[in-house]
Each structure stands twice: as C-alpha cells, then as structure tokens.
Chains A and B, each alone.
Chain A
Amino acid sequence: MAQDESRAEAAREAREAAAGRAAISVRPEFRAHSSSSGAEKVFELKGVDVAYGGVTAVKGVSMEIGRNDVTALIGPSGCGKSTLLRCLNRMNDLIPNAEVSGELLYHGEDLYGPKVDPVQVRKLIGMVFQKPNPFPKSIHDNVAFGPRVLGRKDGLDETVEKALRGAALWDEVKDRLDDNAFGLSGGQQQRLCIARCIAVEPDTILMDEPCSALDPISTGKIEDLMIELKEQFSIVIVTHNMQQAARVSDRTAFLMVELDADEDNRWGRLVEYDETEKIFTNPTDKRTEDYVSGKVG
C-alpha cells in the first residue's frame, strides 16, 4: 500500500511537472502572523465572475480581504456567498464546468495562475463546512489527518493537542482521544473540524455557515473561538445569521440576487462592503439597509 502511494505521489509530481506547475510559494512572512496590521491584504478580488456550465452565479465582485480580520459574507439565499467563498480555496475546481474569471489575488499572487496547484492552495487556506463532517476515525486521527497528509510523522501528539486546545476542545476530549469522532455532539464535531483545519497551520480559514446546524450554546462557543482565532488567522465566514456577522466580524460584505431585464437569469452581486459597524448602523446603499433591518430577505 505504501508503495502504491509513493508511486501515485510520483505520478502526480510527474503530471504537475509536465503541466509546468510548481507549488505555490509560501513566503516566510505569510507564516509569521503579526496581529492588527490592518492595512495588509490576504485576498484581492477584481471583477470576479463565477459561472457553472456557462450560467453566471456571481458577477463582478471586487473586494479586499484584510489579514487577521474576520470578514463576513451575508445576503439572502442564492446570492452566491458560498460560491464566492469556495473560489477562495479553489474548492470550486471540484465541480465540473465551474469557471472563475476576473482577477483573484492571494497575497498578491494570482490564485488561478497557471503555476498554482489547487492542492497547495488548500493547505494554506483551510475550510470549515456547514455541516460538521468529521472523518469516521478517532478524534486523534481526525486532527492528525492533515499533518499526516503533509508527510509529518513526528510530534503528531503535540500537534493534535495544540490544535485541540486552539479549537477550545481539548478539555472536553483529552480523556477520549481514541474514541470515534462520531460520538461527539454536533458543536464538538464542528470544533473538531476547526481543530483539524488549524492543525495544518493554514494562513486563512474559510467558514461556510459553520453554525447553521448548531444550537445557540455551541454557536456561542464557536463565535468566541473565531474572535480568538483571528489573532493567528484571517477568517472569512459566510453566514445567514446577521447577528452573528455583527458579533464576530470586522468587515461585512452584503451580496444580493440580481435579475436581468427579462428576469430569466439571476446571479449574485456585491452590493456593499465596509466596516461591520457601518454596514449595520449606517449603510450607504438602501438595499443593504432594507436587508440588515429585516425589511427584505
């Protein structure tokens, strides 16, 4: 089996070499997180369009996402929040016919450039999903999976402990690390998924409605966690819950569904993007005001 794997690994490398790809370079300064350097940008989007099989899902999004910020994407169902989020770590590549156009820079480098390997991108930009999706393995192995995939063999126990502490789950699970992760509650499972994500030491964490399947207490724990995590990571969160966006995020982007003239096609459009406080207290756009005040959506 090990032989098979190394063979497959070699084949992959050969394919990548043939395609003229190289691993996206990780500059050391990306790793050394310095907090509150507000001006620094993680992502820069310039006129990003996303289409599935020729049908536009998101149109013309331009925004900058700051380092060590929590950036919230809000908006009604179908406005393309999740679609946009999934562009940021190239998860859309997994959907056949998905096309991303426009310019999407990650630390100044084109995320969709010809030399960029999506696998490398996902090591740097982690993701937490809507529904907790622990692997059918022990708690320990769930967290150790990422480091193992990266080829780490030593010091896994310390990495696992550090990640679980980082996700505020250690005290609840330290005596049962070998138990199956499916035995945890939904909120614990979601924090395990966050631990699993930070064990890979990413630079950014994307969260796709991470609390929509959780009760209010678990949601509160994860929101507290987000505020702690932004010391180390940049976080982009999609949420349906406006209060959540108001509570946790530094900046908020409001997206809305737009229809064409004969109402045949619909796509998501970024309406307003600003400091969270401004979006919720004094938005510039009337549509944003209607949405955050609960008049529509």
Chain B
Amino acid sequence: MGIGERRSRLAVAGARATTEAMLSGQPRRDVIRNTVFAGLLLLAVGIALAGLLALLIQAFVKGAPALSLDLITNPPSTAFPEKAGYRPAIIGSLLLIAGVVLFVVPVGVGAALYLEEYADKSRWWNRLIEVNIQNLAAVPSIIYGILGLGFIVRGPLDLGFILAAGSLTLALLVLPIVIIAAREAIRAVPDSIRQGSLALGATQWQTIRRQVLPASIPGIITGIILAVSRALGETAPLLLVGATVFVTFDPTFLGTDGYSAMPVQIFNYALRPQEEFQQLAAAGILLMLVVLLAMNSFAIWLRNRYEQRW
C-alpha cells in the first residue's frame, strides 16, 4: 500500500467523521420541543375524532336492536313502535334531493360559468356578487327556512306547504356551495386551454362547452354531491316550510297532504320518551350516516379518479 493511498484514505475517513458530527447531535431541548408539539397536534386530532366516534358508538349500541329491513319498508307508527320505520321519510328525502339537483345543477353551474368566464372582474358589481355568494354560504339554514316560508310557501310564489317548496328552499340553501365549488373547478382549467381553443377559431361558447366544461365536470360533480349531502341532513328550514313531523303515507312532489324527511323523522322519534322510539331514532341516525358516508366517499373517489393534472 503506497503512502499516497493511505493518506487519501485517512482524508476520506476524516471528512466522513466531520460530516457525521455535523448531522447528528441535535440539542436535547429541540427534541423535547418537537415531541411536545407533535403530541399537542395528535391531541387535536383525537378530540375531533372522539366526537364522531362517540356518536357512532352511541347510535350503534342503541340502534342495533331496531336495525332491520322494516326500518326502510315500514311507515312510522305511534301505536306499534316495534314495527315502525322510515319509509315516507326516506321517499321524502329522495324526492327533496332530486328537486334540489334539478334546480341547483343548471342554476349553480350557469352562475359559476358566468362569473368565471364572462364577468369582467374589474367591475365593482361583479366583485360585490362574489363577496355576497361567499357570505350566503355562511348564512344559517333557519334563515333560508324563513325565506322559503315567506317567498316560496306564501308570498310571491305561493306554492303552499308542498314538497316542491321544501326542495326549492333547500336548493337555495346549497346553491352558494355549488357555485363556489363549480367556480373552483372552472378556475382550475388553465388559460392555455382556452387560448388554444380560441386560436383555432372556436367561439367563446364552443370553448366553454367543449373544453372548459368537460375538463371541470368532475370537480363540479364533486361539489354537487357535497352540496346534496348537506341538503340531505338539513332539518331546520324544512320544519318551517311544512315537513310535517308525522306522515304515514308516501309523499309526492306536489301533494298537499304533507311530507317528511329523514332528519325530521329522526327528530320526531328522538323526542318520544319510550325506549323503542329511542332505538328507532338511533337506527335512523345510522341509516343517514351510512348514506352520507357513501355519498362523500363517492365524491372523493370521483375527484381522485378524474382529477386532471395540468
């Protein structure tokens, strides 16, 4: 072994030792601080999850005995709680959200397209509309109930206490959510796509219809599903616009005999002192949780599946 080689080996070993010394040996105080902070963050997550977990366990333990197909197929009953179910409420909820979708999709997507593609953002009124939509999304739902009662059930529209009126009220409630989500999705389409399309001689509408909308539709649908699941869980505005708490027949869109919805029916059962009704309410909560979880999972799946990376 030549002396040169030995020397260079020594140099390498020395350099390595220096680097290792620089990389290790974190001060003890920093280690403690790190651990404490990570622990606090974990605690925050724990508190958030504990609430959900408590609800789930409570509902499951209490509602398990009432879980059966009767829950879905049978109408409610005050006399026979062991046979009572949610049938009219489920149908009511389905019709309600069908109406919400019918209204909210064209109006919400249309408004979002106008605001993103046509509105001149340097104009003050367009900025005002923007701020107002953000605010509307935060208005308490009971206010929408009062609006629905005043303008849809009575007042200018005068529809009466029918399911369609409830549907329209819920649609107004979730409209800002749909607009905001659809705008986000439309904004995510890069301008280079619009320019590429326009440079080929496409009109603005052709560009929107054939490029912008198809590229943003997964995001828009995700927003719609989230909005619908919000509408599905709303109770307060429905109570004001005629969701009668006790309906034993299947509701229709325009029927004047009253209608019900899942959360309203759960609320009604939960108010009753008898143990059987308490079980029914818990089982109803489980049913709704399953539906909501399924809808939200579908929305997430859709977003991941079709997310476009630009």
Query: CB within 8 Å of B: which residues of A?
Result: 1, 4-5, 8-9, 12, 89, 91, 94, 96, 119-120, 122-124, 126-127, 129, 131, 133-136, 145-146, 148-150, 182, 193, 196-197, 200
Contact = CB atoms under 8 A, between A and B. Distances in A.
Contact of A197 (B200, B202, B214): B200
A127 B198 CA distance: 10
B68 interface: no
Q: Is the interface of B mostly helix, strand, loop or mixed?
A: helix
B204 to A, nearest CB: 8
A152 to B, nearest CB: 12
Which residue, of A123, A124, A145, has the highest number of chain B Cβ atoms within 10 A? A145
Q: Is the interface of A mostly helix, strand, loop or mixed?
A: helix
Contact of B205 (A12, A96, A129, A145): A12
Contact of A135 (B120, B205, B211): B211
Interface stretch (B27-35, B96-104, B189-197): B189-197
Given A96-B122, A135-B193, A196 B200 contact: yes
A91 B199 contact: yes
B205 to A, nearest CB: 4
A94 B197 CA distance: 12
B2 to A, nearest CB: 45
A5 B209 contact: yes
Please give me the 5 A-B residue pairs with the lowest Cβ-Cβ distance, nearest first: A123-B201, A133-B192, A127-B199, A146-B200, A8-B205
Given A5-B209, A149-B197, 11 more contacts: A1-B209, A96-B122, A124-B201, A126-B199, A126-B200, A133-B190, A135-B196, A135-B197, A149-B203, A182-B309, A196-B200
A217 B277 CA distance: 76
Nearest to A182: B309
Contacts of B197: 135, 145, 149
Contacts of B199: 89, 91, 122, 126-127, 129, 197
Nearest to A5: B209
Nearest to A123: B201
Which residue, of A5, A135, A182, A197, has the highest number of chain B Cβ atoms within 10 A? A135
Nearest to A197: B200
Given A96-B120, A149-B210, A122 B201 contact: yes
24 contacts: A5-B206, A9-B205, A12-B203, A89-B199, A91-B198, A94-B195, A94-B198, A96-B120, A122-B200, A126-B199, A129-B192, A133-B195, A133-B196, A134-B196, A135-B197, A136-B215, A148-B210, A149-B197, A149-B206, A150-B201, A193-B196, A196-B196, A197-B199, A197-B200
B134 interface: no
Contact of A200 (B195, B200, B210): B200
